[in-house]
Structure 1
Amino acid sequence: MATRAPIVTRFAPSPNGPLHLGHALSAIVAHDLARAGGGRFLLRIEDIDGPRSRPELADEFRRDLAWLGLEWGEVPAQSTRLASYAAAAEALKARGLIYPCTCTRKAIEAAGAIAGSDGLIYPGTCKRAPPDPSFPAAWRLDAAKALAETGPLVWEDALAGPQAVDLSGLGDVVLLRKDLPASYHLAATLDDAADGVTLVTRGADLFAASHVHRTLQALLGLPVPRWHHHALLTDENGQKLAKRRGSPALVERRRAGEDGQMLAEQLRLQHLRLGT
């Protein structure tokens, strides 16, 4: 009887603000699933967010995880992997699977874009009329052409079960941003493959993104992991915790002398109550 390879999970924060309780829960879920499966839990710093990335925060993240009682192995940060993103992008360009786009958000709204599962669905303006090459451009995935090449695809979520890839609620997502080496979609997909991640754990708010990532895996010949999208912690208004809304920082609680391992146990209990 074949044995399943040990689980490899990861926690991949961006050093553009302190970690909060939502991050703590994501790290704990990934850590505990790896431990339960006799596998490995990895830390990857996603530090390609331009001037918003603050290197000193990565050390605070490590202190936060240790304070919570977690143990991990560390893999190279995204800033060391720019060549892999560029190579993948060139391969997709050569196959005509991505196209340049100079549209601003305001222009996309003015074009009558409709809301999708992860923001506005791009109406294809620059696909129909290629932009002036002298202007800075993002590069978008041609979803229709990509799926015509891959054929039907499926992916599996540990909680929601098998999923058929459907990009209709996302449209032609950005893979290369105007101002950064790669979008989250391209970088995270390539990094998870390079790091040998077998179970991608993240919040339910990123469920739709997995349709894109599964498509990229097929296009680029990458291994296919399983996914585990856990429920989100929310504030008193029912909104997910977020750096931009000033959710309480772990570093503040740590410096105030709070017991991190006790907090981790409380989050585990809350996670059980959420049923995921």
Structure 2
Amino acid sequence: MMGTSGAGRYAPSPSGDLHIGNLRTALLAWCFARATGRRFLMRIEDLDRARDAGAATRQLEDLSRIGIDWDGEAVLQSTLGADHDAAIERLRAAGLVYECTCTRADILAAPTAPHAPPGAYPGTCRNRSDADRARERERIAPRRPALRLRVPGETGAPEFSDRMMGRVAGDIDDFVLRRGDGTVAYNLAVVVDDASMGVDQIVRGDDLASSTPRQIVLQRLLELPSPPAVEYAHAPLVLGPTGARLAKRDGAVTLSDLRADGITAADVRSALAQSLHLAAPGERVTADALVERFDPDAVPRTPWTWPGPEKLVTS
């Protein structure tokens, strides 16, 4: 195994217990990092108000139960606000930040460019004068404006090479950096936090692949590491029995639910290993064995359908 000074990471949001799909992505991220000699870091993305105060603790316990370990203490994203503020101020100093008073309904109702994707920001607030911005702030009070990135025209939509998906491109609009309620937006926070933590390998669900070009734009504007110095791998999601993305409405999908049905964390680890082509059907496998066997090229590029607890061990 070749060592590296970089790191991989897993970054759950503490809104509830992790389900099988979350655990599978975490296990995959851990295998990617450990198989390449990287550190593996844990970050709790708690900027939004958590709906469950004890969720972060339970999430970390569940990750440990299936054999995932990490280096150092888990980092709370809410403690990194000074870094987020500094990044926004740097962009503001470069003339790349402006106030936006548009609501989601305003954006959906506004005319957009012919080839823009649905919901793309049409630039309504981009070129307002200082006087117009002052009137807008007064109009929406006590609500506050959001802050958007003025994406430079020459930036374009960067393509990147993804370890799982191949070449990926995405549309770039003037996206939000800080919401009107004062919360830093995901794209800004994740870019700043990954760079400050030394993360150079990002493994996550493919539902986030479309956000990556925006994050690459931020990396470049803030002079932070970006592809190819940062490796991305977006994995297919786990589907429920109806073919939709797996959710808690699909029944017993968390470790605590499954434990009530007599299914152990080791059972879950083995089933996830089988779904990633790291174990034969019914084979019991340790976490260390997963790292030894791990081959990124052998990981399935199609979604895995959750078989349900009754078939979990033998699927």
Which residue identity is paired with 1:142?
Answer: R
Contact 1:99/1:140, CA 8 A, preserved across alignment: yes
Q: Is the partner of 1:88 in helix, strand or coil?
A: helix
**Hey, what does 1:213 align to over in structure 2?**
215
C-alpha distance after superposition, 1:16-42 (max 9, x if no partner): 122111110110001111121122221
1:140 to 126, 148, 152: 148
Correspondence list, 1:10-21, <5 A:
10-21=9-20
Is 2:24 aligned against 1:25?
Answer: yes
**Hey, what does 1:274 align to over in structure 2?**
300
**Hey, what does 1:187 align to over in structure 2?**
189
> Highest Rg: 1 or 2?
2
Q: Is the partner of 1:61 in helix, strand or coil?
A: helix
Q: Is the partner of 1:229 in helix, strand or coil?
A: strand
**Hey, what does 2:284 align to over in structure 1?**
none
When the two structures are superposed, what TM-score results if normalisation uses the length of structure 1? 0.85
Which residue identity is paired with 2:146?
Answer: A
CA distance in 1, matches of 2:3, 2:165: 21
C-alpha change, 1:40 and 1:121, in structure 2 (3 Å) is same
Q: Is the partner of 2:161 in helix, strand or coil?
A: strand
CA distance in 2, matches of 1:56, 1:227: 30
Contact 1:10/1:43, CA 8 A, preserved across alignment: yes
C-alpha change, 1:56 and 1:235, in structure 2 (3 Å) is same
CA distance in 2, matches of 1:116, 1:239: 26
Alpha-carbon shift at residue 248 of structure 1 (Å): 2.7
CA distance in 2, matches of 1:85, 1:69: 32
Which residue identity is paired with 1:267?
Answer: L
Q: Is the partner of 1:96 in helix, strand or coil?
A: coil
C-alpha change, 1:104 and 1:90, in structure 2 (3 Å) is same
**Hey, what does 1:124 align to over in structure 2?**
123
Q: Is the partner of 2:13 in helix, strand or coil?
A: coil
CA distance in 1, matches of 2:300, 2:164: 12
C-alpha change, 1:92 and 1:255, in structure 2 (3 Å) is farther
Alpha-carbon shift at residue 234 of structure 1 (Å): 1.0
Which residue identity is paired with 1:107?
Answer: D
CA distance in 2, matches of 1:173, 1:247: 37
Q: Which blocks of at least 5 consecutive residues in structure 2 are unaligned? A: 278-298, 303-315
1:72 to 63, 66, 70: 70
C-alpha change, 1:215 and 1:99, in structure 2 (3 Å) is same
Which structure ranks higher in relative contact order (CA pairs < 8 Å, sequence separation ≥ 6)? 1
CA distance in 2, matches of 1:116, 1:243: 33
Contact 1:75/1:195, CA 8 A, preserved across alignment: no
When the two structures are superposed, what TM-score results if normalisation uses the length of structure 2? 0.76
Which residue identity is paired with 2:162?
Answer: D
**Count of residue pairs the alignment pairs up:** 266
C-alpha change, 1:43 and 1:275, in structure 2 (3 Å) is same
CA distance in 2, matches of 1:7, 1:45: 19
Contact 2:100/2:125, CA 8 A, preserved across alignment: yes
Alpha-carbon shift at residue 153 of structure 1 (Å): 5.0
**Hey, what does 1:234 align to over in structure 2?**
239
Contact 1:64/1:254, CA 8 A, preserved across alignment: no
Alpha-carbon shift at residue 247 of structure 1 (Å): 7.7
> Alignment identity in percent?
36
Alpha-carbon shift at residue 4 of structure 1 (Å): 6.8
Report the aligned-residue RMSD: 2.7
Q: Is the partner of 2:184 in helix, strand or coil?
A: coil
2:163 to 150, 155, 158: 158
C-alpha change, 1:84 and 1:127, in structure 2 (3 Å) is same
